[in-house]
Amino acid sequence: MDVNNAERTLSVLLELLHVLSVRKTWYQLPVLHQICKSCPKDMVSAAGSTSEDDCSFEQRRTCNCWTKECGFCSSIKCAVKQDLFKSKRGITVRSKPNLRTYDTIFLFDVEGKMLGQFQWNLKGIFLAGGCVQCRTPPALRDARIKNGLTAWTLTLTDGLLQIKIGDKHLYEKSLKGECRKIYSKTRRFAFYNMKCETTFSYLPNEMEIGDGMTSDCAGTCPSF
């Protein structure tokens, strides 16, 4: 083979390698797109997930604030900072509502002064100060998951207290007068006497979690 033929052969080989390289890149692009699928803002998914259906909000423990370390619910290090009066997402808790015990959330102003508490179970719904005091509606009782954790959401947007499960609003009460005035100051919340299996959805763009609310609730619950 003379020099000219050798150069032509090398040129053809280089061109062929270039074509194969381009084809390989385009072939791989759809696979890379699936692997790099991302979740909507604020949400997370398990490693290796390729679908938005796998996305959810990060879950944190509902650590009991009624401990000596938390000053029996007086320390903001055991509370979550959130402007509940403006938030449209509110607080979503995963628990097992029942007839015997209450799911209880203490509400505070920005400085950590307690404003009151919200409580509910399958019998009744209460907001301290006589602001809410009623029986739990049958629709709300029936919507719970009987053999598992139920995700329920409390909102207090612009003074309208609502409880919903999924996309269904199952209870609401518009706060008036002094009740609205008091709870319009809600800027922090904390959980009371909930079980270790109970969690809440962490919204990083709305919430700041106190240092005392660790993944094992200061050693009182198993770590995530």
Q: What is the pTM of this model?
A: 0.77
pLDDT of residue 174: 98
Paired tokens of 77 = 């290090």
The dihedral region occupied by 50, where left means phi > 0, alpha psi between -120 and 50, and beta the remainder, is alpha
pLDDT of residue 6: 54
66-124 confidence digits (pLDDT tens): 999 999 999 999 999 999 999 999 999 999 999 999 999 999 999 999 999 999 999 99
> DSSP readout, 162-191?
EEEETTEEEEEEE--HHHHHHHTT--EEEE
Share above pLDDT 90 across residues of the chain, in percent, rounded to a whole number: 70
pLDDT of residue 33: 36
Q: 119, 127, 125, 126: which is closest to 102 by C-alpha?
A: 119
159-182 confidence digits (pLDDT tens): 999 999 999 999 999 999 999 999
Confidence check: pLDDT of 191 > 60:
yes
The pLDDT-based confidence of 16 (bands split at 50, 70, 90) is: low
Residue 130 has phi, psi (to 5 degrees) of 75, 15
pLDDT of residue 115: 98
Mean pLDDT of 124-133: 98
41-63 confidence digits (pLDDT tens): 666 655 555 655 556 679 999 99
**b (16+ CB within 10 A) / e for 82-100:** bebbebebbbbbbbbbeee
pLDDT of residue 57: 77
Q: Which amino acid is at 79?
A: A
With residues binned 3-state (H G I as helix, E B as strand, rest as coil), the percentages for the chain, rounded to 5, are 25, 30, 45
- Mean pLDDT (the chain, rounded): 85
Under 8 Å between Cβ of 61 and 199? yes
